[in-house]
Amino acid sequence: MGRKPEFKATKSFTMGLRELAWLKEYSERKNEKASAIVNKLIRKAMLEDNTEEQKKVARGPTAFCTACMKRREFEQVKDNWLCFDCGEDKTEVIQYHLERSQP
C-alpha cells in the first residue's frame, strides 16, 4: 500500500556552468528573470514535442460522405472504413481509391 510515486519539482536543480553563465547574460540582456526564461524554453520544447506526436497520428483518407453530405475523414475499424462523424460504411469506395492511388 502507500502513495503512488509522484513527480516532485524542487526549487533548485543542477545546471552546468556554461548554461548558467549563458542564462545570466541572456536574462540581463532581455531584462527578464531567469525563471521566466527557463519556463519559456520548457514551454517551447513541450509544444514541439506535442506537434511531433500529432504528426505521428495516422490520419485516414478523406472522401465524400453521403450521410453527412460533406467531405469527411474516414477511419479503419477492423476491415471497414467508417465515417469519422456519422459511422457510414464506405469500404468499397475507399479501397477503390487506395488501390488506384498506388503505382
- For 57-84, the pLDDT digits (tens) are 556 777 788 888 888 888 878 888 888 7
For the record, the C-alpha cell of 35 comes out as 525563471
Beta strands in the chain (DSSP E): 62-65, 70-77, 80-83
Q: Are the CB atoms for 38 and 15 separated by under 8 Å? A: no
Q: Between 31 and 50, whose confidence is greater? A: 31
Percent of the chain at pLDDT > 70 equals 80
- Helix (H) / strand (E) containing 20: helix 17-30
Distance CA 74, CA 60 (A): 5
For 83, other C-beta atoms within 10 Å of its C-beta total 20
Provide the 3-class DSSP secondary structure of residue 63.
Answer: strand
Q: How far is CA 41 from the centre of its chain?
A: 18
Distance CA 37, CA 85 (A): 42
pTM of the model: 0.44
